[in-house]
């Protein structure tokens, strides 16, 4: 994992140092799809880390096919594991307060990341997830591989249109 964290740090540093002008700052702000704050040790902002698509895509991608209550049949979700994203920002905590674009919020136990292997899915069946299709990020659990997650507790934790995580 040390190599992974190093790779993310390089991406963060590069994203901070490219074109430090006002126009670049506005452009970078518009492309942010995930902000993480709270109990983190790595930052690219004053108090947070802001990920754009390129930064998230620099993380190892994983996929699984699973049935969910939100689609008629099983689909393939792809993206970085939540655990890898948390390790990239050196997060330490007990709870992940997750907020969607529509202000829906849910608290997810920090230990779910390692214990259940959910993804921050950026793609469904190979296509980048648009906002109208539950994107840009969808926290999804491998329901078919982990039968203990097939219940309302885990369905409620599977937040789509995810835009912010506060580590507590």
Domain boundaries, the chain: 2-167
CA 117/CA 150 separation, integer angstroms: 14
pLDDT of residue 18: 31
The pLDDT assigned to 37 comes to 98
Provide CATH code, domain 2-167. Answer: 3.90.420.10
Entry pTM: 0.83
pLDDT of residue 75: 98
| Preceding peptide of 118 cis, ω within 30° | no
pLDDT of residue 47: 97
Coil, helix or strand for 51? strand
- Residue 142 DSSP class: -
For the chain, residues with pLDDT lower than 70 are 1-30
């Amino acid at each position: 994992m040390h190599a992974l964290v190093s790779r993310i740090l390089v991406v963060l540093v590069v994203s901070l140092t490219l074109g430090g002008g006002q126009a670049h700052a506005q452009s970078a702000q518009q492309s942010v799809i995930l902000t993480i704050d709270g109990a983190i040790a790595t930052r690219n902002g004053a108090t947070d880390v802001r990920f754009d698509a390129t930064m998230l895509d620099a993380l190892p991608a994983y996929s699984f096919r699973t049935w969910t209550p939100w689609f008629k049949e099983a689909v393939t979700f792809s993206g970085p594991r939540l655990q890898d994203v948390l390790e990239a920002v050196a997060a330490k905590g007990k709870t992940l307060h997750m907020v969607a674009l529509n202000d829906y919020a849910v608290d997810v136990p920090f230990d779910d990341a390692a214990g259940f292997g959910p993804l921050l899915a950026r793609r469904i069946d190979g296509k980048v997830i648009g906002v109208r299709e539950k994107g840009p990020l969808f926290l999804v659990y491998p329901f078919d591989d982990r039968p203990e997650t097939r219940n309302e507790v885990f369905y409620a934790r599977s937040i789509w249109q995810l835009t912010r995580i506060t580590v507590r």
